[in-house]
Amino acid sequence: MKIEFYGAASGTVTGSCHILHVGQHKILLDCGLIQGSRQAFEQNREPFPFEPSAIDAVILSHAHIDHSGRLPRLVKEGYHGTIHTHNATVDLCEILFKDSAKLAQYDAERYNKKNKGKRPLYPLYDLSDVDDTLKKFNGHSYQAWFEPLAGIKVRFHDAGHILGSAIVELIINEDGNEKTIVFSGDIGQFNSPILQDPTLLEKADIVLMESTYGGREHKARENTYTEIGEIIASASADQGNILIPAFSVGRTQEILYQLVEHYDEWQIDNWATYLDSPMAIEASKVYWDFKHLHDNDAKRLLGDFGNKIPLPNYKRTVTPAESKHLNTIESGCIFIAGSGMCNGGRIIHHLRHNITRPECHVIIVGYQAGGTLGRRLVNGEKRIKMFGEWLEVKAQIHTVGGLSAHADQADMFKWLSHFKTKPDVYLVHGEDDSRQAFKDHVEQHTDLTVHCPVAGDVVMLDG
Ligand SMILES: [Zn+2]
């Protein structure tokens, strides 16, 4: 029995991928896309550090592309087994994979146009690879045991991170030697909206745990809501539009949910809200469909509205023509669109038409990576280049923190310290300083042993 660590070990947060060896079986835990700079992305083209056809089963913690995004490539290169995950993740992956394939194709075409005469770049995978991959999915409910391979029992627990996100519990029996391994996937915050809290577990011999915010405490969500309310009030007085760049899965649904919850307080009846993103529209349907996964507040608020949200003056724009029409509206609209970091998608067009107008407001609600347009706006740059022209940034840019889908140090510690069996802990999915900060914190306050594996490390689990 052993674990090999690949992506999202070695001090990175993307490309989650680990292999569990049990007897002759190899089980892959997640198979995420490496994200970030162009150079980082190119690593996705490198051969897998294992033979895809030699993997016997895949277990996927959640739909986020940094956990799931290389699965179509795995299938393209010979994986023929089943992909086990939560039912909601099956639906979300269909939306995310199709988008990812389209982006990969667009990216390859753009590269080949720029680099005529060089060896052409092929997309990482295409829509037919996505179709082949989706056929291999087997969805499960939380708490329900299943046996992906003989001698291996698995069940999912709600991780409270995004819809369908799972903490994976595996009971492994090899020659009479039984071990319980818990893979945290990404863990959500306690008391976050829509979703249930992360499930607390008591028993494990080994815990593989994410550590994205291992060294940080989040700002209280309530303070963030107060801040958003104040921004909406001043935008109302200014008579402009409000732009909210948001990721399609998770953040968009939280924003919509807060508009419903604070409808009276924020005087949302003065506004028309547009969700201008085909992908976020699809993801939202899945979010509102899986009502049994919602927390009690969300069940009460979303009630019997099917896969719609009870938000008056709310419109969803699917076609490019509908989206284009929005550019002619000068005031009274809240536009929610991707991409979350303003490095593509329809939000770019909204920025182009509103950024030079002092009466307009941009609310940044998510992390903005270095090198993205979103980061330049957060940094307060006064001139930005879009579509080949320089534009003066006159709209008011607001950065609100506190809406993270990841547990912070206190929540991570709460989750980990609930185990009663003193498991060995392996921190994955975190930059080096976050992992070290959380390791120090845990070792200072408990007698647990915490390891920070690097890519390629193999840990024997016998004995
Ligand atoms: Zn995630």
Ligand 1 centre distance from Cα of residue 389 (Å): 35
Q: 167-176, 247-256, 393-402, 428-437: which has the minimum mean pLDDT?
A: 428-437
User: Residue 10: its pLDDT value, please?
Assistant: 52
Mean pLDDT across the chain, nearest whole number? 93
SS3 (DSSP) at 321:
helix
User: What architecture is the 2-216+405-460 domain classified under in CATH?
Assistant: 4-Layer Sandwich (3.60)
Ligand 1 centre distance from Cα of residue 340 (Å): 14
Beta bridge mates, 272: 333
User: Residue 444: its pLDDT value, please?
Assistant: 96
Question: Is a pLDDT exceeding 90 seen at residue 38?
Answer: no
- Domain 2-216+405-460 and domain 221-403 have a common topology: no
* Under 8 Å between Cβ of 334 and 262: no
Ligand 1 centre distance from Cα of residue 64 (Å): 5
Average pLDDT over residues 379-401: 94
Ligand 1 centre distance from Cα of residue 162 (Å): 7
User: Residue 36: its pLDDT value, please?
Assistant: 66
Average pLDDT over residues 216-229: 92
Ligand 1 centre distance from Cα of residue 110 (Å): 28
Residue 293 contacts by C-beta under 8 Å, 6 or more apart in sequence? 88, 142, 158, 163, 164, 195, 196
Confidence of residue 462 (pLDDT cuts 50, 70, 90): confident
Ligand 1 centre distance from Cα of residue 250 (Å): 9
Residue 340 contacts by C-beta under 8 Å, 6 or more apart in sequence? 245, 246, 247, 248, 251, 366, 374
User: Residue 372: its pLDDT value, please?
Assistant: 84
User: Residue 11: its pLDDT value, please?
Assistant: 54
Percent of the chain at pLDDT exceeding 90: 75
Is 221-403 a CATH 3.40.50.10890 domain?
yes
Across 162-236, where does the E strand assignment appear? Answer: 166-174, 177-183, 206-210
Half-sphere exposure of 236 (CA within 13 A, CB side): 13
Using alpha carbons, select from 227, 195, 219, 245 the residue that is nearest to residue 366: 245
User: Residue 184: its pLDDT value, please?
Assistant: 97
Q: Where are the domains of the chain?
A: 2-216+405-460, 221-403
* Cis peptide bond upstream of 53, omega within 30: no
* Under 8 Å between Cβ of 457 and 19: no
Ligand 1 centre distance from Cα of residue 132 (Å): 23
Percent of the chain at pLDDT exceeding 70: 97
Ligand 1 centre distance from Cα of residue 269 (Å): 33
User: Residue 16: its pLDDT value, please?
Assistant: 85
Beta bridge mates, 459: 3
Distance of alpha carbon 111 from alpha carbon 126, whole angstroms: 16
Residue 215 contacts by C-beta under 8 Å, 6 or more apart in sequence? 409, 433, 434, 436, 437, 438
This prediction has a pTM of 0.92
Using one digit for the tens of pLDDT, what is the confidence trace for 44-61? 888 898 999 999 999 999
Ligand 1 centre distance from Cα of residue 311 (Å): 27
Kindly list the distances between the CA atom of residue 408 and the CA atoms of 188, 189, 199, 239, 442, in Å, as whole numbers in the listed order.
9, 7, 15, 37, 13
Q: How far apart are the first and last CA of the chain?
A: 9
Q: What angle do CA 413, 415, 416 make, to 5 degrees?
A: 65
Confidence of residue 432 (pLDDT cuts 50, 70, 90): confident
User: Residue 40: its pLDDT value, please?
Assistant: 75
Ligand 1 centre distance from Cα of residue 388 (Å): 34
Confidence of residue 219 (pLDDT cuts 50, 70, 90): confident
Distance of alpha carbon 181 from alpha carbon 176, whole angstroms: 16
Token couple for 442: 């845990």
Question: Is a pLDDT exceeding 60 seen at residue 374?
Answer: yes
Ligand 1 centre distance from Cα of residue 326 (Å): 31
SS3 (DSSP) at 193:
coil
Beta bridge mates, 428: 210
Ligand 1 centre distance from Cα of residue 415 (Å): 17
Ligand 1 centre distance from Cα of residue 115 (Å): 34
Ligand 1 centre distance from Cα of residue 159 (Å): 10
Pairing label, strands 25-29, 18-22: antiparallel
CA 233 to chain centre: 30
Radius of gyration of the chain, Cα coordinates, nearest whole angstrom = 22
Confidence of residue 463 (pLDDT cuts 50, 70, 90): low
Q: 186-195, 283-292, 296-305, 410-419: which has the minimum mean pLDDT?
A: 296-305
User: Residue 13: its pLDDT value, please?
Assistant: 57
Average pLDDT over residues 182-211: 96
Confidence of residue 183 (pLDDT cuts 50, 70, 90): very high
* Under 8 Å between Cβ of 159 and 165: yes
Ligand 1 centre distance from Cα of residue 187 (Å): 8
DSSP H or E stretch at residue 374 = helix 373-378
* Under 8 Å between Cβ of 257 and 250: no
Ligand 1 centre distance from Cα of residue 280 (Å): 16
Distance of alpha carbon 105 from alpha carbon 103, whole angstroms: 5
Using one digit for the tens of pLDDT, what is the confidence trace for 65-107? 989 999 999 999 999 999 999 999 999 999 999 999 998 898 8
SS3 (DSSP) at 96:
helix
Ligand 1 centre distance from Cα of residue 161 (Å): 7
Ligand 1 centre distance from Cα of residue 356 (Å): 34
Average pLDDT over residues 380-391: 94
SS3 (DSSP) at 442:
helix
Average pLDDT over residues 198-216: 94
DSSP H or E stretch at residue 386 = strand 383-386
Ligand 1 centre distance from Cα of residue 62 (Å): 7
